[in-house]
Structure 1
Amino acid sequence: MRRLHGLVGLGAAVVLTLSTTATAVEAPPEKPRLRGVPGEIERSSDPRLAAWQRLQYGMFIHWGLYSELGGVWKGKPVTKGYSEQIQMWADITHSEYAEVAKRFSADKFDPSAICSLAKDAGMKYVVITSKHHDGFSMFDTKTTDYDVVDRTPYGKDPLKALSEECRSQGLKFGVYFSLVDWHQGHDFDPDNNNPIPKSMEPLIKRQLSELMSNYGPISEVWFDMSSPTAAQSRAFAGIVHDKQPGATVSSRVWNNAGDFRVMGDNEVPEAPLDGPWQTPASIYHETWGYRSWQKREDKPGKIRDLVTGLMSVRARGGNYLLNIGPRGDGSVVGFEADVLRGVGAWLDRHPRAVLGASATRFGGRPWGEVTVNGRDLFLHVTKWPKSGELRLPGLATDVRRVTAEGDRALDWRREGGDLVVELPAKPTDAVLPVLRAELKGPLRIVPDRTVTAGDGRWSLSPSDLHTGYGYADKGSYYSQKRTRVRETAYLATPRTASRVEVRVTGSAEPGARYRVRLGSRSYVVSGKDLMSGPVGPFHVPRNQVTPLTLTLANPSHPGQDLALNPNAISIRPTEN
């Protein structure tokens, strides 16, 4: 038995050099190449969630009374905290803060221009703050007069105008909704971790009902902060699902009642996550709402950072929600507009490399990331290798040709299972270079740490397993923790097919129900039975990679921890 890193010794490799005439040099095959596993990470099997995942990239908008202040109170910059929370950080009284509404004219708020900017940036949807922690409703609500229609010179419903313009320009529309509400009685809490008293529930439910009823189809409801009870979380999410069956709910409704998991601000997870997830990103990490004194510099560097963030999130299977903070008058800061258009220009130079593409099982590489779109494999080079070579191990699909920007053909050859790229002397795109390998068939790979056994027997240790991660929470932002939701091993039998059984030793939750899947067959067993006897029989085909996967059979939510710690897994032939 031996562990395979990539596909060494079982196939061929690819080297790319920039030249006028591209050639492909195929080494004589040493033995039949292993049939790899599908390399594309699938979207959710739930059509509603899959539709949300296909949106991929959207615009976040933080706009409210705090935008009128621009991070300044009584002539002095408020340097502590995010500027959209200036009421708390500057300890502004409710009566003083309410006075700000009297000068909120929003005379430059232009939904058409905002939607056009989103499309220029390559975005597919827009999410705007309907109510932030200050409790000031930026929509026409009947629950209070503390809203943009009743208290400001603007006197109109900006969400109505924006939602209609989104539909007109082919963008999906979503809303942010804070569960913290200082106007309705929450105290200032630097952690924004306030429980929700029962007295506030009717207002929250009525406002959610209004938002879900008056603005056409909603694609996403982005709840935020507070620490609701499990019953409250289910009730709030339930209103959304009842009135907008096509909408998705963010995990910040808490108590694992959401549809997709939200990462920390600007966070790119180290490893791909199982299930739908999103990274909220800001042009400036210091604030989300408009800040008049914010330093705005190094536009090319900012574009490069955001392109890298967008691409990295997409390569790991997440959605990317990038924020702008308009001024109080509704106008978009020119620097922010230029940055978004810079991101869009890069996307235009690399059509199909990010938008419409999918994450792959290659994971992050030392030189960058990999996405796939149909039979095109895209190599995003964030760190130009000093060696002049770029190596991608484990590619099990034949390559037709390889190109760089401008469809310039590159020489290539195969060595084992590696795609090796001889790079030009310098990056081929000033923002982020992308190479494209055209495949002869669907993407298949031999994952790192694939274990092969010619006699149909495998002995696996924890180091052979690929862990699938999720997140779970206990009702608040600070209780959110990463969880293990899957363990997968990849088995290869180059010689003969095998009929086998699986034995797992270690620890498991005795009463939990686990699904053991090997190839096309699966069994559901209790944790006690999993630890006490064999599971099977299974069939392992010859000359291909077959995944062995351990998950919970019926998790209460996608991020529920596996509560399984295998010390060893043995796969042996069986006569049963």
Structure 2
Amino acid sequence: MKKLIFIIPVLFVLISQAQYEHEVTGYEWPEDEKVLQKLEEWQDLKFGLLMHWGSYSQWGIVESWSICPEDYGWCERKKGSNPDDYFTYKKEYENLKLSFNPVNFNPDKWAEAASDAGMKYVVFTTKHHDGFCMFDSKYTDYKITDEESPFSTNPRANVAKEIFDAFRAKDMWAGAYFSKPDWNHENYWDPKFPPLDRNVNYDPELYPEKWEKYVDFTHNQIMELMTDYGDIDILWLDGGWVAKKPAPMLEEAYAHKAEGVSSGFIKNRVVNQDIRMDELAAKAREKQPGLIVVDRAVRGPNQNYLTPENRVPETQLPYPWESCIIAGGGWSWVPNPEFMTPKQAIHMLVDIVAKGGNLLYNIGPGPDGTWPQGAYELLAAMGAWIKVNGEAIYSTRAIEPFKTDNICLTQKKDTKEVYAIYLEQGQSEGLTSSEPLANGLPESFTVKGIFAADNAKLSMLGARGNLKWENTGEGVKIFIPRKIRNNLPCDLAWAVKISEVK
């Protein structure tokens, strides 16, 4: 997972807004009524957990990418006995399987913390690009349940199954992250050819039988997950370069390169890698009716929602979407990770929900099978806020103008109720050090662009009584009495419910 995988950071800076415009034209709504219903329910959930975890966690490095022979910063090799020797490094990386022993793995504790935080679904990395399986696949020995792995004798060795079971027990949805490229498999990176980049290291059109074996392997592994791991709600596929033909955004990127717009941001080749996604999605839904398939970064009917990575769109988007965001450290575990503050995290959640999206918040478990303490502390703070304000978050949809100044708006689905969420201000929101902090709620504030109906009632979530209000030329002006301001129901952001707007 790197910057929506197929776009490099320089391009992000240059055309980030253009990318969102491009996504609008590329989304295809599913035709399956069960999938549409599932998507509607998913949009009600708003807040989920993503976990990157694998044998690489022992080194505290970025997941998978250090064995990819590309020269981006995230691919830099710093561990092992001789990181300058690629083949020695790759062998030592793969041998991390022999020492991966997360003896403190307790998914019930994770599920409880996530549920208390208000999360409603989990997406877990069953396999990342390096090919190491965190589930008991019978199609490879490169897995945590292999007899050479010390954790294989643990009763909870089939990690993915244990996680899905634990989170479902807390009434949360289960999502399976799965990497379409597998850099360990002989029919993706053939050992007879050196890997050139993230792509398959041979031409599938010149070696169709070899490629067909890889397609069968991929289908077989995904069908294992769809068959043997209980109810799966989301199949979250990564590795957008594995597609029937160059993804349209890649084609566009290469066109820009050819035109000289950016001379070096694309360093990997474009290779036709037909994984037969239509067939795979249909087979998966035979086992999991209504399954949401997220074929990331590949325009078409199998990308049921979009996944802007580590960033939030500027405005509402006209299709289902989810920002996947690092909570602290990296996607995978790193030593001494620094997590977002509760204020940053809560404001981000509110901003995303106001724009109609979901927040998929990533936490990387450590090599011993535990979360950093900072993750628990952050989730506890988010949960405390959501217990008061969840009504303004769950089962809501975007309503224009989405956000004005520091006030975000949401609307309850299928009702007239609108919520104005006032975000606490302070230096972290852009004030200079010479400006005073403006924490807490003022005596009054105006929600620009929103006007209360004549008979509307306004109230603050978590506080008693109705609020005084008046419509002005700009919008509805809301008055917060001293007794509420002196005894606020929560910190950092406050939601005012407007029973009806004009």
TM-score when normalising by structure 1? 0.61
Identical pairs, percent: 26
Residue in structure 2 matched with residue 250 of structure 1 by the alignment: 294
Residue 292 of structure 1, aligned match among 335, 346, 351: 335
Shift of 1:388: 5.4
Contact 1:390 1:423 in 2 (8 A): no
1:224 aligns with 2:244: no
Deviation at 1:237, TM superposition (A): 3.0
CA apart distance, 1:307: 1.0
Residues 190-269 of structure 1 aligned to structure 2 (within 5 Å): 192=198, 197=204, 198=211, 199-230=213-244, 231-232=274-275, 233-252=277-296, 254-269=298-313
Of the candidates 38, 41, 66, which is equivalent to residue 56 of structure 2? 66
Distance 1:85 1:109 in 2: 27
Tell me the equivalent position of 1:455.
none
Tell me by how many angstroms 1:435 deviates.
Answer: 3.5
1:434 aligns to 2:494 (yes or no): yes
Give the Cα separation in 2 of the matches to 1:253 and 1:234: 15
Q: Secondary structure at the match of 1:261?
A: coil
Quickly say closer, same or farther: Cα 1:399–1:393, change in 2 above 3 A: farther
Q: In the TM superposition, what are the counterparts of 1:77-116 in structure 2 within 5 Å?
A: 80-81=73-74, 91=86, 93-116=89-112
Q: Give CA-to-partner distance per residue, 1:433-478, whole Å, 9 cap, x none.
A: 2232342x5x5x5xxxxxxxxxxxxxxxxxxxxxxxxxxxxxxxxx
Please state how far the C-alpha of 1:408 moved relative to its aligned partner. Answer: 5.3
Structure 1's 249 and 85: CA in aligned 2 closer, same or farther, altered over 3 A?
farther
Choose which of 357, 363, 380 in structure 1 pairs with 2:421: 380
**CA separation of 1:144/1:366 partners in 2, compared to 1, >3 Å: closer, same or farther?**
same
Task: Give the Cα separation in 2 of the matches to 1:309 and 1:83.
Answer: 30
Distance 1:242 1:220 in 2: 14
Q: Give the Cα separation in 2 of the matches to 1:168 and 1:72.
A: 30
More strand by share: 1
What secondary structure does 2:215 align onto?
A: helix
Residues 409 and 361 (structure 1), Cα distance of their counterparts in 2 relative to 1, 3 Å cut: same
Shift, 1:53, TM fit? 1.7
The aligned runs of 1:388-407 (5 Å cut-off) are 389-395=445-451, 397-404=453-460, 405-407=462-464
Question: Aligned pair 1:154/2:198, yes or no?
Answer: no
Find the aligned partners of 1:84 and 1:181 in 2 and give their Cα distance: 19
Q: 1:413 to 1:260 in 2, by over 3 A?
A: same
| Contact 2:296–2:307 (8 Å) recurs in 1 | no
Residue 86 (structure 1) shift: 8.1
- Give yes or no for contact 1:71–1:293 (8 Å, CA) kept in 2: no
Q: Contact conserved, 1:283 with 1:324, CA < 8 A, in 2?
A: yes
Distance change >3 Å, CA 422–CA 167, structure 1 → 2: closer
Q: Report the CA distance between 1:255 and its aligned residue.
A: 3.5
**Deviation at 1:128?**
0.5
Give the corresponding residue for 2:379: 340
Aligned-partner residue type, residue 448 of structure 2 = L
* Structure with the bigger percentage of helix: 2
* 1:354-373 equivalent positions in 2, closer than 5 A: 354-373=393-412
Aligned to 2:43, the other structure's residue is in SS state helix
d(CA) in 1 for partners of 2:129, 2:183: 6
Give 1:363 deviation, angstroms.
2.0
Residues in 2 aligned to 1:226 and 1:370: alpha-carbon distance in whole angstroms: 33
Whether the 8 Å CA contact 2:51–2:124 is kept in 1: the answer is yes
Relative distance call for 1:421 and 1:72 in structure 2 (3 A) is: closer
C-alpha distance in 2 between matches for 1:315 and 1:193: 37
**Which residue of structure 1 aligns with residue 44 of structure 2?**
54
Q: Is the 8 A contact 2:62 2:332 kept in 1?
A: no
Stretch deviating more after TM superposition (197-206 or 430-439): 430-439
Residue 420 (structure 1) aligns with = 477
Q: Which runs of 5+ in 1 are unaligned?
A: 1-42, 74-78, 446-576
Unaligned runs of 5+ in 2: 1-29, 64-71, 205-210, 245-273, 426-437
Which whole-Å deviations, capped at 9, do the CAs of 1:128-178 have from their partners, x for residues lacking one? 000001110110111111111104111121111222222322111111011
Q: TM-score, normalised by structure 2?
A: 0.69
Give the distance between the partners of 1:144 and 1:98, measured in 2 at CA: 13
Determine if contact 2:443/2:481 at 8 Å carries over to the other structure. Answer: no
Please say if residues 58 and 322 of structure 1, whose CA atoms lie closer than 8 Å, have aligned partners that are also in contact: yes
Distance in 2, matches of 1:357 and 1:290, equals 33
**Residues 223 and 253, structure 1, Cα contact 8 Å, conserved in 2:** no
**84 and 260 in structure 1: CA distance in 2 versus 1, 3 angstrom threshold:** farther
2:468 equivalent in structure 1: 411
Rounded Cα–Cα distance in structure 2 between residues aligned with 1:277 and 1:330: 30
Deviations 1:60-100 (A, max 9, x none): 11110111222399xxxxx942899989x985633212321
Task: Compare 388-397 and 163-172 and name the one that shifted more.
Answer: 388-397
Q: Tell whether the 8 Å contact from 1:393 to 1:417 is kept in structure 2 after alignment.
A: yes
- Greater CA radius of gyration, 1 or 2? 1
Q: Which residue of 1 aligns with 2:342?
A: 303
Structure 2: distance between partners of 1:51 and 1:226: 25
SS in 2 for 1:336: helix
Preserved CA contact (<8 Å) 1:221 1:249 = yes
CA–CA distance in 2 between the matches of 1:213 and 1:83?
37
Instruction: Say whether 1:271 aligns with 2:315.
Output: yes
| 2: CA distance, partners of 1:84 / 1:218 | 35
- Contact 2:53/2:332 (8 A) holds in 1: yes
Q: Distance in 1 between the 2:55 and 2:104 partners?
A: 15
Q: How far apart in 2 are the matches of 1:208 and 1:83?
A: 30
Count, aligned residues = 389
Please say if residues 39 and 292 of structure 2, whose CA atoms lie closer than 8 Å, have aligned partners that are also in contact: yes
Structure 1 Cα separation of the partners of residues 381 and 410 of structure 2: 21
Identify if the C-alpha distance between structure 1 residues 189 and 126 changes in structure 2 by more than 3 Å, giving closer, same or farther. Answer: farther
Q: Report how far residue 333 of structure 1 moved.
A: 0.9
Match of 1:545? Answer: none
In structure 2, distance between residues paired with 1:382 and 1:252: 32
Partners of 2:62 and 2:330 within 8 A in 1: no
CA shift digits 1:322-362 (9 cap, x unpaired) = 11100112111110111111111110122301123332233
Counterpart Cα distance in 2 of 1:290 and 1:183: 21
Residues 82, 162 of structure 1: alpha-carbon distance in 2 compared, 3 angstrom cutoff? farther
Tell me the residue number matched to 2:258: none
Equivalent residue, structure 1, for 2:180: 179
> 2: distance between equivalents of 1:212 and 1:355?
28
- Secondary structure at the residue paired with 1:352? helix
Q: Which residue identity is paired with 2:228? A: N
Task: State how far apart, in whole Å, the 1-side matches of 2:78 and 2:284 are.
Answer: 26
Preserved contact between residue 289 and residue 325 of structure 1 (Cα < 8 Å)? yes
Structure 1 residues 240 and 93: alpha-carbon distance in aligned structure 2, compared to 1, 3 A threshold: farther
Which stretch of structure 1 is more off in the superposition, 241-250 or 214-223?
Answer: 241-250
How far apart, in 2, do the equivalents of 1:362 and 1:424 lie? 26
Q: Which amino acid aligns with 1:131?
A: K
